[in-house]
Amino acid sequence: MKGFAMLSIGKVGWIEKEKPAPGPFDAIVRPLAVAPCTSDIHTVFEGAIGERHNMILGHEAVGEVVEVGSEVKDFKPGDRVVVPAITPDWRTSEVQRGYHQHSGGMLAGWKFSNVKDGVFGEFFHVNDADMNLAHLPKEIPLEAAVMIPDMMTTGFHGAELANIKLGDTVCVIGIGPVGLMSVAGANHLGAGRIFAVGSRKHCCDIALEYGATDIINYKNGDIVEQILKATDGKGVDKVVIAGGDVHTFAQAVKMIKPGSDIGNVNYLGEGDNIDIPRSEWGVGMGHKHIHGGLCPGGRLRMERLIDLVFYKRVDPSKLVTHVFRGFDNIEKAFMLMKDKPKDLIKPVVILA
């Protein structure tokens, strides 16, 4: 079978591989829609998690089951499924500790395009199908459905990590597709005022549609000053970081009140250390909590997100700005994610 792969750091291309076979609990899935992720760009072009050779890329897919192992109970060939970006080994101590994302080691629940071939192949392998797949209702279009495996779960997790409560004033730093879902998540969790930090007009417009009340352009001056000015010097209750770099944490710490939470879902591709400003961190005693996490995966999380879409609480299709058709266009969609033209939020490739 054919797949679009990371050949080595900085290099991508098409390769041929054996079609995968399922173990007793596993499934083989044919993708019906896929999307490239900014994380793939960090992985390939920044070498952020180290060298990978001839690894098929991609971790955002909905698909059709083509084969299942002898022990799979709830899925059969022909079923349409949402495949989470994170597909943990559920029989691990990390799961018992409450962190399935790290089953088997740090970040090891993230398998596709990290430790095994991803979803940009004609077929891909899903471990523990009954625990890691979710049925896709026929009413949800593929373009919207493929925003569930990563964009919705990650953006919403940013809002969860920031521990947002009713009436909180929240700042979401970064409003690409992930941050836009954090804005929607903050809105659903009951935030009062929501600042959205970005620069591209299209992203700002969609942020307002998802519930942002104020837009801050980081290219118009220091965002800390802009936030403090807009809040009469008080700052915000919660911050979600979904963009920026290692320096963004200092800004978050400076703009947040004591007794507060910062939730980071940004994948830090570069830099050795994160600076925390000593004084604004309450000289170590400010109760300004910093959380950072990989998005939740697995079946139950997907089923809950599917409900949010099915019952029209969230419309993730607003994220989709570019739709391609056909397997060969995966490369074009992938390169768009690298180049980030002004009108791009998220490209999708339909393979059905």
Contacting positions for Zn ion (CB under 5 A): 37, 39, 150
Which one of ligand NDP, Zn ion, none is in contact with 177 (Cβ closer than 5 to 8 A by kind)?
ligand NDP
Nearer to ligand NDP, 22 or 176 (CB): 176
Nearer to ligand NDP, 249 or 327 (CB): 249
Site for ligand NDP contains 5 (CB under 6 A): no
User: Tokens 């041929």 map to which residue?
Assistant: 16
Residues 43 and 113: their CA atoms lie apart, in Å, by 9
Q: DSSP code of 138?
A: T
Residues 40-99 that bind ligand NDP (CB under 6 A): 42
Site for ligand NDP contains 197 (CB under 6 A): yes
Residues 206-225 that bind ligand NDP (CB under 6 A): 218
Nearer to Zn ion, 90 or 112 (CB): 112
Q: Which stretch binds ligand NDP (CB under 6 A): 5-13, 34-42, 119-127, 162-170?
A: 34-42
According to DSSP, the residues that pair with 62 across neighbouring strands are 33, 82
Q: Select from 100, 102, 111, 200 the one that contacts ligand NDP (CB under 6 A).
A: 200
Nearer to ligand NDP, 23 or 292 (CB): 292
Quick note: the x/- pattern for ligand NDP over 289-328, rule CB under 6 A, is -----xx---------------------------------
Structure tokens at 240: 């979600």
CB of 172 vs Zn ion, minimal distance in Å:
18
Structure tokens at 66: 């083509």
Q: Which stretch binds ligand NDP (CB under 6 A): 8-16, 27-35, 183-191, 262-270?
A: 262-270
User: Tokens 């899935």 map to which residue?
Assistant: 29
Q: Are 26 and 128 in contact (CB under 8 A)?
A: yes
Q: DSSP code of 277?
A: -
Structure tokens at 329: 């266009």
Ranges assigned E (strand) in the chain: 2-8, 11-16, 27-34, 55-56, 61-68, 80-83, 124-126, 134-135, 170-173, 194-198, 214-217, 236-241, 256-264, 288-292, 320-325, 346-350
Size of the site for ligand NDP (CB under 6 A): 28
Nearer to ligand NDP, 69 or 292 (CB): 292
Residues 122-181 that bind ligand NDP (CB under 6 A): 150, 154, 173-179
Cβ-based neighbours of 165, under 8 Å, separated by 6 or more = 189, 190, 237
